[in-house]
Amino acid sequence: MTSPRCHMFVRYKLAALLAMAGLFLSACDHAKDLVEQGKKQADDIQKSIEGKSEQPAASSEASAPAAANSAAAPAAVPAAPAATAVAPQPTPTTADPNLLIDTFVKASSETKTDAMLQKLGALPDESRARLTECNLAGSYVTYAGLAEVAKFPNLVLVNLTGCTLVRDAGLAALVDLQHLEVLSLERCLISNDAVSHLRKLTNLKVLNLNQTAITDAGIAGLAPLTRLEELSINSTKIDGSGFRKVPWAASLRVLKAGGTMVGQELDALKGYRKLEELNLYGAHVSDKTVAALKGHSQLRVLHLSENGLSDIGAKKLTGLAGLEVLSLNGNRVSDNCLPTFKVCRKLTLFTDHGTMITPQGREFIKKFAPQCAFNPS
C-alpha cells in the first residue's frame, strides 16, 4: 500500500507533464499560423510580380505606332542658343611717353635695367629724341640694354661707370650715336678690342677709361677722336707712349693719368700746350722726366703728389705762370724750390702734406701770392 507522500509526488509529476504538453501544442499552433502567414505573403508577392511583367508589354505595344510615326516625321532641328551679349572691353591705356622718360631720368642709376630701356626703346621717334643723357652708372645693363640705348639718336652723354656686364662687343651698339660727346666706361670690363668701336665716335669730347684694360696700343687706336678735350686713364697700364701717335695736342685740355706709368714717358706730352689740368698722382714722375712740363703756361691745375720728387725736379717746373692749384704731397721738396713758383700770381692752393716745407717757406710764398692757402691734410 503506497504512502500519502508517494501519491503527492505522482500528482506533481503528472501536472508538470501536462503543462509541458500544453506548451508544446500551443507552440505548434503558433508555428502553423506563421506558416499560413508566410504562404499568404508569398502569394501576394507572386501576384505583384505577374502584374508588373504584363504592364511593360502592354506599354510597348501601345508605343509601337507612335515610334513608327516618329520615324516617318523629320527630326526636329534644335533651336539655336540665344546670342550672349559681349560686354565692351576697356581700351588699353597707353603710358605717357614724357612721363616714362622723366621717370627714367630721375630714377637712381643703379636701379635701371634692360627692361626699362626696352620700354623706352618702344616709344615713338619724337619721344625718344627728347632724351639727351643716359646715366646707367652702377647698373647691371647688358648688351641687350645697350642695343636700346642706340635708339636715342640725340644722346650727348652716356655714363656706364661700374657697369661690369658691359664688354667690348657691347659697345658696337653705340657707334651710331653721332651726337655723343661724353662717355664714361670706368671699371667696365673692356680692353683694346673696344677701340674699334670707340674710334667711330668722332664727336667725343670727354672719355673716361679709368680702371680698364686699355693700353698704349689702344690709345693710339683712338687717333680719329680729334675733338677729344678730356681723357681719364687713371689706374691703367698706360705708360704714355701712345700719346705720340695721336693728334690731340691741339684739343686735349684735361688729362687724368694718376696711378699709371705716364711719368716715365712724360716727354710724349711736350707738344700738348693746351693742357689746363694734369693729374699725375703716383704716376712715376721723376726729377728727370718732370722737365717735360716746362713751359706749359696754360696749366691751371697740376697734381704731382706721391712721385718722390726732390727740389731738383720741382725747380724744373718753370714757366707755369697760370698755375692755380699745385699738389706736391708725398714729395721730398723743401723751401729751396719755392722761388720757382714766384711767377704763379694766381696760386690759391699749395698743399704741403708729407713735404719738408716749413712755416717760413709758407710766409715766403704769401709775399708774392697773398691769397695762397695751405692745406696740410
Q: If we measure between CA atoms, which residue out of 132, 185, 193 comes closest to residue 162?
A: 185
Beta-carbon contacts of residue 371 (< 8 Å; ≥ 6 apart): 346, 347, 348
The two beta strands, 230-232 and 301-303, are unpaired
- Asked if the domains at 97-214 and 285-377 fall in one CATH topology, the answer is yes
| CATH architecture classification, 97-214 | Alpha-Beta Horseshoe (3.80)
Q: Distance between CA 361 and CA 338 in Å, rounded?
A: 7
Cell of 286: 721723376
> Residue 147 forms beta bridges with which residues?
none
Q: Distance between CA 300 and CA 369 in Å, rounded?
A: 15
pLDDT of the chain along its 377 residues, tens only?
Answer: 555 555 555 565 655 655 565 555 555 565 566 546 656 665 665 566 555 545 544 444 444 444 444 444 445 555 555 555 555 655 544 678 888 888 999 999 999 999 999 999 999 999 999 999 999 999 999 999 999 999 999 999 999 999 999 999 999 999 999 999 999 999 999 999 999 999 999 999 999 999 999 999 999 999 999 999 999 999 999 999 999 999 999 999 999 999 999 999 999 998 899 999 999 999 999 999 999 999 899 999 999 999 999 999 999 999 898 999 999 999 999 999 999 988 888 887 777 788 999 889 888 888 887 777 776 54
Residue 96 gets which letter from DSSP?
P
Beta-carbon contacts of residue 306 (< 8 Å; ≥ 6 apart): 281, 282, 329, 330, 331
| CATH architecture classification, 285-377 | Alpha-Beta Horseshoe (3.80)
113, 141 Cβ separation under 8 angstroms = yes
> Residue 278 forms beta bridges with which residues?
255, 302
Task: Write down the domain spans for the chain.
Answer: 97-214, 285-377
